[in-house]
Structure 1
Amino acid sequence: MTEIVELTPGQSVKVATKELVVRVKVRGYGRGRLTVEAVATGGLFASASKSGPDACDWTASQRAVGWRVVIEPQWWVHASDFCFVRFGFAAHARDPAAPDYLGVEFEPLTLEATQFSVAVAYESEESQMPADLREAYRAWHQAVTETEIVSSTLVLAGRRALGREKDQELTYGEVLFRPFHRLLDEVVKPRPGEVFVDLGSGTGRAVFVAALCWPALAACKGYEVSPPLHSDAARCHGELSGSVMAPVELHCADVLRRDDWAAADIVWIASVCLSDGTLRAIAARLVSLKPGARVVHMTEHFLRDDDAFERVAEDPILVEMSFGVTGVFVARRRGPSE
């Protein structure tokens, strides 16, 4: 027997059942976290659907080659009013105690005949935000919701427009609001009057986080070589026109053909897919930054010129991105006497 229950943010429920479908009531933007505590001898499995309970009927008993869980008990993006999540227990799990179910593969499974007790709770990420940031959080997510749906199409269109369909440097990935805000707030520490620049700004998400959360910045600028991604960033900027934010400038340009970003105080580079040649060329430009400027990047051996830069933190700072958790480094431009 399958039991269906409905949750709203902040609610929790505990049931004893063989299989459970949770109807999670969510808002049309943002992220949420579903927490699950269950006690049984088998391994927990889960599947998710943004349409209806029948759409997540991909149960373990219907699989001949094992089960791959498709939802994680961490923050996950939703863009609909409801999401259905199916939970159950399966025998012969490879790692029944695995805390992170995303990507955990189970052995060929059969559902346990016995019931299990499970406690499920849902909380929205917005509810965990500081009160003074919630309006910015809502505005940001409402602006980027459409991009969530068409991002892969935009990337492909951009590669075709540039004649670089197989160029890995045009791999698309974006920041998430709360993790990126925390990185800037706790490590980079933007100050009033400073200029934030994103080299390879995609659909503008990092630019908009900085502009919304630090409206006293002098400017937040994005440089993106892909015309479709730049156009979508401009659309998002229009969606945010009624928000309190720092001045935003979006440029459809190759960062190596522009030098007006060298006056930045904070430079963000999602550098994980850039070639060594491109990184060297950018590094040569970054040397001209003013003393005290901070460069935030993802490549360990980037900016290793100790005469020009010093690491704010030697170890990588783990930050969740749209493609997963990655290590981020922060370097500060030294002054003449340092």
Structure 2
Amino acid sequence: MGNDGEFGFLANLFVSGMFFLTLKEKLDFRRRALAIADESGTDRAVSWLSSLSSQSVGSDIGRKIRSKWSGGECLKNAERAGNIIGSFGIRSVFYGDEGFPAMMSRTQAEVKDPPFSLFYRGKLDVLGHACVSVVGTRRATAGGRRAAFDFARDACDDGLTVVSGLAFGIDIESHKGALSSVTPHTAAILPGGIDTIVPSSHARYAARILESGGLVASEYLPGTPAEKFRFVERNRIIASLSPATVVIQATAGSGAMITASMALDYNRYVFFHSENFAPQALSLDGAVRNALLRDAKSGARSASSVASKMENSPSAFVESGAVVISSYKEYKNHLYVSNI
């Protein structure tokens, strides 16, 4: 294996592929792998990693692992990821490293599973600026798209980094607004390996983000496909990177509302743009609610699942005291007052 430095990197990649573990568990397996390398050599440590299985790992951590997983396959994925990293100039930072984003390190006291790894292209230090996370529906209205663009532009003009997910609708309008700023700092967090931009039609915006001194990042090993559950996992990173999340426009039970709930769980502020309550947005929300009710009636979804989704809505948050804003200026004023 060359040297212990190379093995340490391989161990980090391997542990990144143990997607079913909590951060604490990943750190423990990394520690064990490095200890074996120190005591018995890297070949022995590689052999140990390769021998692991869902059953043996589950036995070690005291809970059943439902995912089909093998150390041998994980090792192959880690080696492949290493090759992709070298070919694409991808960089990485791992939990505990000096450059690991401070806001995500904070979350260990607030959430059990901040990411172990971050693979990125661009400038990681944009996350060291004051950040604001901007989220919303893919099916945004014209008013919602304009609100996202304007908010992000004004936030960047004021020196902030806008964090979003590069998705259709509100996400991409937020990135576009940021890119139009005189200080175009924006970070796109992906739901799969950083070597594949999702959606592919937004690759040109990812390129512009990098050209403008921004960041494109993911917690997943390069080569990892963007699957449905990873979009939700990705949202926790968007929520954790900023002291506040702004929901520009979202429907009940949507991914943006999941991100808002995560932000609250992480002890962050959550704001709702007034575009959530514009006539077209309310009509869209009504259509989503009707579809959920039809699903409950047909048995496609359980009644409890539908109820939970319908309760996780902008109106419910506002009824519970969340602040409604109409501009970045209003956001800044409310955030300043909240921190006095």
Q: What TM-score results when the alignment is normalised by the length of structure 1? A: 0.24
**Larger gyration radius, structure 1 or structure 2:** 1
Q: Pick the structure with more helix per residue.
A: 2
Higher strand share: 1
> TM (normalized to structure 2)?
0.24
